[in-house]
């Protein structure tokens, strides 16, 4: 055998040996570094091994980010909005999504800036509690230009192509207030202390109240001697309104309907200063703890309970669904001045001393010891 042939044979043997080593090393690496005959799960295919884009979808599933919801709130000053914030966050996170929350403390410019910041940061859907029903139309326009849908939470955004409205039947809230008070005072001088004129809900509450009062006004049984909005819903402004109503009528007032429990608190403070608290029926709504305490204590007649846990859960479910591209099935529409907005409206509940335990307390909205603590200490 020639020297050249021997050299070629040795080179082939060497190359074969190297090839065996390389193949063994690759097999060992593919098995996660485990040698022998142990059963090892087959390694997931790399994106580059995909055919016709199938691997691309798998890779997208592996790296898919959770849905992110923005919640742009008006205020956290009132007790109920703290509950909305906390319960909404819990509901969204329970659905596997993320939530970013802001509160503008009643400043339209701040609310718009906060919403725009969330949109720019890449939220998938915006839920908004508008401070000003008209001004927040700019937020809806900005969101839509960025491909982000918008849900109006509890308060309607006016003159905007809002995608969904989730709230309670707020006209019904006002009707429940008026029905409760007119049952006690079918004739006499009435005072209406409204909410913030910039809040569309305040108008809906008032519509409901006057749906009930108007026939009695027309018959002459009821006279509304004072009717005023309350700037920013604050108890101090509501008290000032009630003080003015008392002065103008020489304290001769028979009943008061206040747009919510915070304004009712201001009304009752004004009545207390004149020794009239507990003698003049007062209606509110929101089922605030202080209102529940006033009801069992006898200075507030009733409130309207809107189960916030139901609202937050429903809003969270719809927000996550829509953020994923799904279209919710709704059977109600509310006109906001521009379009008929698809709406989900939940039922409110009238609450007084007789059904406090069966509603607010039974639902765990307030603890019984908290509601009755003040009354028991007197």
pLDDT of residue 15: 56
Question: Phi/psi at 65 (nearest 5 deg)?
Answer: -85, 150
Q: Are 336 and 198 in contact (CB under 8 A)?
A: no
Q: Are 287 and 351 in contact (CB under 8 A)?
A: yes
For 8-25, the pLDDT digits (tens) are: 555 555 555 555 455 555
Ranges under pLDDT 50 in the chain:
1-3, 6, 20, 29-56, 58-60, 62, 378
Give the integer Cα–Cα distance in Å for 125 and 324: 9
pTM: 0.75
pLDDT of residue 29: 47
pLDDT of residue 319: 98
pLDDT of residue 52: 38
Give the integer Cα–Cα distance in Å for 239 and 230: 9
The token duo for 63 is 């790296």
pLDDT of residue 280: 98
The token duo for 347 is 């039922």
- Catalogue all structural domains in the chain, each as residue range(s) with its CATH number: 68-162+308-346 (3.40.50.2300), 170-306+350-377 (3.40.50.2300)
The token duo for 318 is 């719809």
pLDDT of residue 21: 54
188 conformational bin, left if phi > 0, alpha if psi -120 to 50, beta if neither: left
pLDDT of residue 65: 84
SS3 188: strand
Q: Are 261 and 291 in contact (CB under 8 A)?
A: yes
Residues 6+ apart with CB under 8 A from 202: 194, 195, 196, 229, 233, 259
> Which string of DSSP letters, residue by residue, matches 135-176?
TTHHHHHHHHHTT-EEEEESSPPSSS--SEEEEE-HHHHHHH
Q: Are 347 and 168 in contact (CB under 8 A)?
A: yes
The token duo for 35 is 């040698």
CB atoms within 10 A of CB 131: 25
pLDDT of residue 80: 86
pLDDT of residue 45: 38
């Amino acid at each position: 055998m020639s020297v050249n042939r021997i050299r070629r044979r040795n080179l082939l043997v060497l190359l074969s040996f190297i090839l065996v080593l390389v193949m063994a090393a690759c097999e060992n690496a593919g098995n996660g570094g485990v040698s022998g005959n142990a059963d090892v799960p087959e390694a997931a295919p790399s994106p580059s091994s995909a055919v016709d884009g199938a691997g691309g979808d798998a890779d997208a599933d592996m790296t898919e980010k959770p849905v992110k919801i923005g919640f742009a709130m008006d205020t956290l000053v009132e007790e109920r909005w703290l509950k909305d914030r906390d319960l909404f966050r819990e509901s969204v996170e329970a659905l596997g999504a993320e939530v970013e929350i802001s509160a503008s403390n009643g400043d339209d410019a701040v609310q718009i800036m906060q919403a725009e910041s969330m949109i720019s940061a890449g939220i998938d859907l915006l839920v908004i509690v508008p401070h000003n029903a008209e001004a927040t139309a700019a937020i809806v326009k900005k969101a839509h230009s960025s491909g982000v849908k918008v849900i109006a939470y509890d308060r309607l955004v006016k003159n905007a192509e809002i995608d969904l409205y989730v709230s309670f039947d707020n006209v019904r809230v006002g009707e429940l207030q008026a029905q409760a008070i007119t049952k006690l005072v079918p004739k006499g001088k009435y005072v209406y202390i409204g909410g913030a004129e910039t809040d569309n809900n305040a108008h809906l509450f008032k519509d409901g109240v006057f749906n009930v009062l108007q026939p009695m006004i027309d018959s002459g049984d009821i006279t509304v001697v004072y009717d005023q909005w309350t700037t920013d819903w604050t108890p101090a402004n509501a008290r000032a309104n009630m003080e003015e109503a008392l002065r103008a009528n020489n304290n001769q007032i028979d009943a008061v309907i206040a747009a919510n429990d915070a304004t009712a608190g201001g009304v009752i403070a004004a009545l207390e200063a004149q020794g009239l608290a507990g003698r003049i029926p007062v209606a509110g709504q929101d089922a605030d703890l202080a209102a529940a305490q006033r009801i069992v204590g006898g200075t507030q007649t009733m409130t309207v309970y809107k189960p916030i846990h139901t609202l937050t859960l429903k809003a969270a479910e719809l927000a996550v669904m829509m953020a994923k591209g799904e279209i919710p099935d709704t059977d109600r529409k509310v006109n906001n001045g521009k379009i008929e907005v698809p709406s989900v409206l939940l039922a409110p509940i009238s609450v007084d001393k007789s059904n406090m335990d069966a509603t607010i307390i039974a639902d765990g909205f307030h603890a019984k010891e908290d509601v009755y603590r003040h009354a028991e200490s007197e």
